[in-house]
């Protein structure tokens, strides 16, 4: 009995291999849990009830209201500037009611009143010029041409997005790599146990022959 226990004792290299395997298993499970609670679940909620549609610009206008943004001019240099609010109203193929267009979900959460947030410059005039350029783009270059937009009837029925922050590729990678880490950990543990078992059996057969 004592010999059998001694035979199954792992060497230092095998012990390290087992620890690495269990570490990868734990990392994969924790990653899945953390991403599921903090990122994947909200992303799926945003996508739930949503879809794509064809959008056509109805009106492009600047509001008199200005909003604050924070610019950075160095490691210890930060300040506040202001930019005008640009609204792009569109009509979707799913509804005849006008909807407010946004760049993506992140911009919608940052400023739900406006369609565009320019890169924050120190000079308010530069911010105004960036917004005016974007206004001309929607009026002159896009005009009445249809384009693809995204909506979510449950969360924001009066808003549409030009692009999605959470697309299928990001969600796939979010799920794939923790699973790969978990499976690699399981594989290392199984291979280490199998290798040890084969070594013990080979040793027992060798002793029987002698």
Q: Residue 171: how many CA atoms within 13 Å on its side-chain side?
A: 13
Same domain, 54 and 157: yes
Same domain, 161 and 175: no
Same domain, 112 and 56: yes
Same domain, 121 and 181: no
Degrees, nearest 5: CA angle 58-149-151: 100
The 10s digit of each residue's pLDDT in 66-81 is 999 988 877 677 889 9
Which of 43-52, 95-104, 195-204 has the lowest average pLDDT?
Answer: 43-52
CA–CA gap between residue 61 and residue 6 (Å, rounded): 81
Same domain, 95 and 197: no
The 10s digit of each residue's pLDDT in 12-39 is 888 888 899 899 989 888 887 776 665 5
The 10s digit of each residue's pLDDT in 111-146 is 999 999 999 988 999 999 999 999 999 998 888 889
Same domain, 104 and 131: yes
Angle, helices 12-35 vs 168-209, to 10°: value is 160
Residue 109 pLDDT class (50, 70, 90 cuts): confident
* Residues 6+ away with beta carbon under 8 Å from 87: 59, 60, 61, 62, 63, 100, 113, 114, 115
Same domain, 146 and 173: no
Q: Is residue 44 scored above 90 in pLDDT?
A: no
The answer to whether the CB of 178 falls within 8 A of the CB of 120 is: no
Same domain, 125 and 174: no
Can you give the residue range of the structural domain that contains 112? Answer: 49-165
What's the total number of domains in the chain? 2
Same domain, 129 and 188: no
pTM: 0.58
With respect to residue 114, please indicate whether it lies within any of the assigned structural domains: yes
Same domain, 71 and 111: yes
The answer to whether the CB of 103 falls within 8 A of the CB of 151 is: no
- Residue 3's pLDDT is 47
Average model confidence (pLDDT) across the chain = 81
Which of 16-25, 165-174, 181-190 has the lowest average pLDDT?
Answer: 165-174
Mean pLDDT (whole number) for 174-197: 86
Same domain, 136 and 195: no
Using a pLDDT cut of 90, give the percent of the chain over it.
28
């Amino acid at each position: 009995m004592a010999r059998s226990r001694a035979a199954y004792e792992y060497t230092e290299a095998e012990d390290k291999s087992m620890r690495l395997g269990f570490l990868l298993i734990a990392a994969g499970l924790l990653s899945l849990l953390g991403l599921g609670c903090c990122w994947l679940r909200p992303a799926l909620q945003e996508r739930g009830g949503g879809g794509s549609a064809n959008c056509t610009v109805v009106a492009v206008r600047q509001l008199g209201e200005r909003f604050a943004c924070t610019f950075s001019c160095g490691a210890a240099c930060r300040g506040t500037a202001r930019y005008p609010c640009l609204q792009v109203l569109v009509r979707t193929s799913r509804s005849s009611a006008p909807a407010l267009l946004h760049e993506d979900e992140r911009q919608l959460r940052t400023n739900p009143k406006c369609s565009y947030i320019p890169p924050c410059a120190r000079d308010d005039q530069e911010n105004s010029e960036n917004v005016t350029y974007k206004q001309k783009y929607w009026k002159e270059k896009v005009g009445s041409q249809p384009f693809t937009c995204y909506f979510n009837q449950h969360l924001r029925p009066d808003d549409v997005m030009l692009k999605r922050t959470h697309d299928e590729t990001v969600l796939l990678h979010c799920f794939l790599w923790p699973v790969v880490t978990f499976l690699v950990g399981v594989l290392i543990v199984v291979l280490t146990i199998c290798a040890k078992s084969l070594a013990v059996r080979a040793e027992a057969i060798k002793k029987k022959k002698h």
